[in-house]
């Protein structure tokens, strides 16, 4: 009977340890459920706002450059209009005579 008593005592000890572990897990689960994680994004908001300001300034610079460039392209002509008209007129006269 001693072996049966030893096995029973061992089983009782194991069950007690198991119950203690379950209780510990239950308290940990409750703590995790009650835990609220708060994210502090104020630093990121400041960085993003600064980046947006820089991007707006860069966009304005690019837009002004594009406007100046388009203005220069519109004003740029290889030959003046009067010179082209005189050249065509002279070609027509050359062919006639």
Domain ranges (residues) in the chain: 1-35, 60-97
Angle at alpha carbon of residue 78, lines to 86 and 95, rounded to 5°: 30
Mean pLDDT by 10 residues, the chain (97 residues): 82 91 93 81 89 97 95 80 89 83
Question: Scanning the structure block, which residue is given the tokens 């594009």?
Answer: 66
- pTM score, whole prediction: 0.43
What pLDDT score does 86 carry?
92
What pLDDT score does 52 carry?
97
What pLDDT score does 1 carry?
65
What pLDDT score does 48 carry?
94
Length of the chain: 97
- Taking the C-alpha atoms of residue 49 and residue 9, their distance in angstroms, rounded to an integer, is 68
- Taking the C-alpha atoms of residue 51 and residue 54, their distance in angstroms, rounded to an integer, is 5
DSSP labels, 8-22: HHHHHHHHHHHHHHH
Rg (CA), the chain: 44
What pLDDT score does 50 carry?
95
């Amino acid at each position: 009977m001693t072996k049966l008593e030893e096995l029973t005592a061992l089983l009782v000890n194991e069950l007690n340890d198991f119950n203690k572990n379950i209780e510990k897990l239950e308290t940990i689960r409750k703590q995790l459920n009650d835990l609220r994680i708060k994210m502090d994004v104020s630093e990121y908001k400041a960085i993003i706002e600064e980046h947006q300001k820089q991007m707006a300034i860069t966009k304005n610079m690019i837009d002004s450059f594009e406007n100046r460039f388009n203005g220069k392209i519109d004003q740029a002509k290889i030959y003046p209009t009067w010179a082209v008209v005189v050249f065509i007129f002279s070609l027509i006269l050359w062919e006639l005579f």
